[in-house]
Chains A and B, each alone.
Chain A
Amino acid sequence: MPGPFIEDAQIDHARKLAEEIVNPIFDLIRRNTTVSTERTVLRFFGISGAGARGVPLANLMVDKLKAAGVLNKGAAYWYGRALHLGAKSPLEAVEKLTALPTDKLGALPPEQEQNLREEVRAEARAAMEDMKSRIAQREELRKQFPMSPAPHKYVIVATGNIYDDVDQARAAAQAGADVIAVIRSTAQSLLDYVPHGATTEGYGGTYATQENFRIMREALDEESRKLKRYIQLTNYSSGLCMSEIAFCAAYEKLDMLLNDAMYGILFRDINMRRTFIDQYFSRRICAMAGIIINTGEDNYITTADAYDAAHTVIASQFINECFAKRAGLKDWQLGIGHSYEIDPYRDDTLLLELSQAMLVRRCFPDAPLKYMPPTKHKETDIFFSHAYDVMADLVAIWTRQGIQLLGMMTEAMHTPLLADRYVALKSASYIHRAARGIDEEFTVREDGKIANRAREVFGQAMKLLQECRDEGMVAAIGKGHFGDVKREETGGKGLDGVLEKAPDYFNPFLELLEAA
């Protein structure tokens, strides 16, 4: 165990501060819903198709309800009304409802209202059972073909064509990868819908669609059986459709999702309220589906300096953890993000990186953690770049990271070539093999550079948490405390998709997920 460095009571205090920071945001979450949350509800009921010009049916229906000013009762309620109108299929439900004049949307007599809700609840339970049985299949496969020991070697594929991605993913698995991440098309986070179908011409990646998820998971299931080693799949539940993507991922049996409570706000300029509300429902789904979330603190130190902003990573991790726990996620599901990003031309960087990684381990002993490789200071000198990555491999095994993204020697040039992944996997396997257990052999001195730096960073993190508690999260983000990026509460994209719940708001899936 890498040092105490700090006392348990200090860590408890950090958790308490995070709790107090997050509390007021839960008022907001409880009082409001969003268009994407409501679309997720419809997807749970099986409304996953697309209508004319590829517009998802869930969008058609939610937009119509929003335009009629009645979405605040919850899409599930209107789904029930549509069934009462005699709809036989989800598609028909959408049609019936969208055809109805607005003045026909008033409340029913109380008894009918009650019955309607009970019927919809029953249907929701059935949908949830269906979902759970699919997830059980994944659990079965995982049991049959156990994964390699941690750190799980995580690599990305990013060809823009899901079928090429499949070839690259299989190749990576054969070369020793444990986790495949399919990179998303560049602008998807700002789309207020989940595109439909398979992507063959994505830009910078493929769209996160249910069909792409299915295609890739099917290939990896096959590869897992062949290799007798379960290969995990991950994608991005971020942007304007966090919870819809979480639903698609759960349904298609993905294993992990990039899912951060603040990333969209800071790095995609998505509205704060929208993100906070969306992340909650998305994380509820992840909790139920046994999906490991990966948080995005590593991004802070691609914009801000990794040495100066080290404490913002720690502070944000406590906040992200608190949001996650309150959405029902367990420790084993918290791939808390951090990275090896200090400018390599400084002195002592191996010590500083060890210090930071050990501190994160110390604060979150039971979480898998997600460790990112160097990216920002990568050079086009691929030989140097490779050596630089190997140092991150060493820190990863030393600090028992659960999930390790492998650095690519061509990071400063292009998305990885097939051979780049191979070279990275080969050397990471070597380092993991060579140094496993190193943490038990060496004790870190409590009065040395590593411990002192850890205490310094933790101290600054506590100050920042205190400030966030005193001034509120909104003000802290407004001041650019995280990632040097400043955002306002009513700025950014997607605020018009936030609505206050009516007193009789209805969401049976949220009820089920919260009861679990």
Chain B
Amino acid sequence: MVKPSKQIIRPYGDRRDDGVVQLSFTLPVPLSEKAKEAAAVFAKKMGFSDVKVAAAERAADNYTFFVVYARSGMYLDYAEIDVPEVIVKKMSFDDLNAFIKEKVGRRIVVFGACTGTDTHTVGIDAILNMKGYAGDYGLERYPGFEAYNLGSQVPNEDLIKKALAKNADAILVSQVVTQRDVHKDNSRQFIDAAKAAGIHGKVQLLLGGPRVDHKLALELGFDAGFGPGTKPSDVANYIVHALLKKEGKEPHGMHYQGEPT
């Protein structure tokens, strides 16, 4: 693939390349002229110029909250940003079911849960349950899928064991709480357990949650990652496509709309 030529960009405030950014932060000092100057110095130390401390507010006796506008001299070459291509085609509910029937020839088995200590089920429910999300049906509703939702606080090993027992094609892990990177630790533990069970690289392993993206999921050892706003149909299309790719029934380099980038 030919790389496009250089495309230098900077933040856009009011005019092209003015480099204007807005910042807000709190300093643990009482509001005063000195505090305002400290905020300006802090912004300059970060490399900003034309620093304007727009607001300095007494957030409490000993804390001042600042809103700062400043310019950055930084720029980047947009052409060098490398992200896999997206969007070719996403099938409708009926088309995808017909496609599964024709190409896969059986129901695709998926297991999902919110694992570890996390109790947030709304995200995984949105993907798996009948009702779905934002008017988009969940996987349970697809005749082409056999979906099992194990709920919340499921130990990683349990999810894997139950998925194995039904010969699952894909396992869906949801992680919502991210304090102290607990989602990463738990996800790594899931991957270790998947490796121990010998399913890593065999069963499609999907990670999802509000602070998850495809890149993070890949780094953690999953096959794909899905973030905020994911629709169940994105996940359904992706799984079918990944399955066919794995079985060699679909050309490489083919991408479906909704496939994580």
Interface residues of A (CB under 8 A from B): 170-172, 174-175, 186-187, 203-204, 267, 302-303, 376, 380, 412, 414-415, 417-419, 422-423, 426
Q: Which of B65, B119, B122, B182 contacts A422 (CB 8 A)?
A: B65
B60: Cβ under 8 A from any A Cβ: yes
The closest CB in chain B to the CB of A305 belongs to B131
Inter-chain contact A303/B210, CB cutoff 8 Å: no
CB of A56, distance to nearest CB on chain B (Å): 23
Inter-chain contact B117/A422, CB cutoff 8 Å: no
Please encode chain B, from 14 to 36, with 1 for each CB lying within 8 Å of some chain A CB and 0 for all others.
00000000001110000000000
Inter-chain contact A171/B60, CB cutoff 8 Å: yes
A-B contact count (CB 8 A): 51
Complexed CA–CA distance, A417 and B25 (Å): 10
CB of A364, distance to nearest CB on chain B (Å): 28
The closest CB in chain A to the CB of B121 belongs to A303
What residues on A are CB-neighbors of B63 within 8 Å? 171, 418, 422
CB of B153, distance to nearest CB on chain A (Å): 9
B104: Cβ under 8 A from any A Cβ: no
What residues on A are CB-neighbors of B182 within 8 Å? 203
10 shortest interchain CB distances as A-B pairs: A171-B60, A422-B59, A174-B60, A419-B65, A419-B26, A174-B61, A175-B60, A418-B26, A422-B65, A171-B63
Inter-chain contact A376/B122, CB cutoff 8 Å: yes
Inter-chain contact A417/B26, CB cutoff 8 Å: yes
B199: Cβ under 8 A from any A Cβ: no
The closest CB in chain B to the CB of A412 belongs to B210
Complexed CA–CA distance, A378 and B234 (Å): 22
Please encode chain B, from 50 to 69, with 1 for each CB lying within 8 Å of some chain A CB and 0 for all others.
00000001011111010000
Inter-chain contact B179/A422, CB cutoff 8 Å: no
Complexed CA–CA distance, A477 and B222 (Å): 37
The closest CB in chain A to the CB of B179 belongs to A204
Within 8 A of A (CB), among B209-239: 210, 228
Inter-chain contact B60/A187, CB cutoff 8 Å: no
Inter-chain contact B60/A422, CB cutoff 8 Å: yes
CB of B110, distance to nearest CB on chain A (Å): 21
Interface residues of B (CB under 8 A from A): 24-26, 57, 59-63, 65, 117, 119, 121-122, 125, 177-180, 182, 210, 228
In the complex, given contacts A170-B61, A419-B24, what are 9 additional A-B residue pairs having Cβ atoms less than 8 angstroms apart?
A: A170-B60, A175-B59, A175-B60, A186-B119, A267-B119, A303-B121, A419-B25, A422-B65, A423-B65
Complexed CA–CA distance, A171 and B182 (Å): 28
Complexed CA–CA distance, A418 and B121 (Å): 28
What residues on A are CB-neighbors of B117 within 8 Å? 186-187
Inter-chain contact B177/A204, CB cutoff 8 Å: yes
Q: Which of A170, A175, A415, A423 contacts B179 (CB 8 A)?
A: A415
CB of A85, distance to nearest CB on chain B (Å): 43
What residues on B are CB-neighbors of A415 within 8 Å? 179
CB of A269, distance to nearest CB on chain B (Å): 9
Complexed CA–CA distance, A380 and B182 (Å): 20
Inter-chain contact A302/B122, CB cutoff 8 Å: yes
The closest CB in chain B to the CB of A379 belongs to B228
Inter-chain contact B179/A171, CB cutoff 8 Å: no
CB of A299, distance to nearest CB on chain B (Å): 11
CB of A499, distance to nearest CB on chain B (Å): 27
What residues on A are CB-neighbors of B59 within 8 Å? 171, 175, 418-419, 422
Complexed CA–CA distance, A423 and B61 (Å): 15
Complexed CA–CA distance, A175 and B60 (Å): 6
Known: A171-B60, A172-B60, A302-B122. A380 touches B228 (CB 8 A): yes
What residues on A are CB-neighbors of B179 within 8 Å? 203-204, 414-415
- Interface hub of B63, B178, B228 (most chain A Cβ within 10 A): B63
CB of B116, distance to nearest CB on chain A (Å): 11
Complexed CA–CA distance, A498 and B180 (Å): 37
What residues on B are CB-neighbors of A414 within 8 Å? 178-179
What residues on A are CB-neighbors of B24 within 8 Å? 419
What residues on A are CB-neighbors of B122 within 8 Å? 302-303, 376
The closest CB in chain A to the CB of B228 belongs to A380
Complexed CA–CA distance, A171 and B31 (Å): 13
What residues on B are CB-neighbors of A174 within 8 Å? 60-61
